[in-house]
Amino acid sequence: MEIHTNIPLKNYTTMRLGGNARFMAEAHTPEDIAALSRNSKKQGLPIFILGGGSNIIAHDEGFSGLVVRNRIPGFEILEDDASHTIVRIGAGENWDDIVKRTVEMNLTGIEAMSAIPGTAGAAPIQNVGAYGQEIADTLVSLEAYDNITDSFVVLQNQDCAFSYRHSIFRGEASGRYTVTSITLQLYKAPPQPPFYKAIEDYFTTNGITMFTPQIIRDAVINIRTEKLPDPKITPNTGSFFKNALIEDWQLNELKKKYPDIPSYDMPDGKFKIPTGWLIEQTGLKGKTLHGMRIHDKNALVLINASATSYQELAAARDEISSAVRDQFRITIEQEPLEI
């Protein structure tokens, strides 16, 4: 394995901000992950595992340790019968390539998560989801390197403590595990309505009445292309803020002033409010703050129009959060992780 020095993180994160990583290496096998982790611990260096860089914000001072780019490949069918297929996927695989491949196999379960940038191994970290699907719905288990016990482990779905855009990997086990593969159970039955509202609206507008995984994928790609800028062209991290979760009494209070406020029931009795809608009500949609532009088609997205530092991004984030909190008494949370 080659280890490079003083590598600009802005070249490996889609927001294109951040200082240098002191060291950077690529891991192509689980054993690479273990070896790099052991060496970092021996040298007293912090370690950070990087996937596609599409959900990461890098600080101006860079990273004083080792950044490992997870590039572990793999796609293996473990089980296949009349109703479902179980596949094991290397953590370094491009996520949308995996979705495309499973859709071409006419499998359902992740087709609505099309066109999400990043790697397969990153999907469980924040329980990636879109348009009514999330990784927790199909993940059977994952394999990971445990940095504490210096061993490879298998974590079952229930071990991950999935919730909305959250898991143990962003909580109590942050930094402990490096995902090396994920195992998903996908299904052969065709997708059935009702679908997520944006997809339903798309089908109604386009007169679509037959549903297959490919039709769902095509719809999602068209919707996302319309609403979300391509991070390869326009610097952004996709949805910068999580959708807000509030209690029923908060929703009832808000409905008195905002009777048309959109809301969605959540399994734990809370309600999800689209944060993009909240930001739009503050009048900030389409505005540029500290070099960061709030996307005029989706206020959840912050575009790096001219910012050159993390500090500018943080100032824009805080100004948006304050505006929402002042108007709605709701605290919104940043979605990307930070290095």
Query: Catalytic residues, which ones?
Result: 165, 239, 335
- 329/282 Cα distance (integer angstroms): 12
- Contact of 14 with 228, CB cutoff 8 Å: no
Give the separation between CA 37 and CA 178, rounded to whole angstroms: 9
What is the C-alpha to C-alpha distance for residues 208 and 201, in angstroms, rounded to an integer?
Answer: 10
For residue 115, give the nearest of 101, 125, 100 by alpha carbon: 100
| Contact of 143 with 177, CB cutoff 8 Å | no
d(CA 287, CA 34): 45
Assess contact for 287 and 294: CB atoms under 8 A. Answer: yes
Quick one: CA dihedral 253, 256, 262, 267, positive or negative? positive
306: Cβ contacts below 8 Å, ≥ 6 apart: 288, 291
**Contact between residue 1 and residue 66 where contact means Cβ atoms under 8 Å apart:** no
Query: What SS3 class is residue 74?
Result: coil
Reading the block at residue 299, the tokens are 């206020």
Task: Tell me the C-alpha distance between 49 and 107, whole Å.
Answer: 30
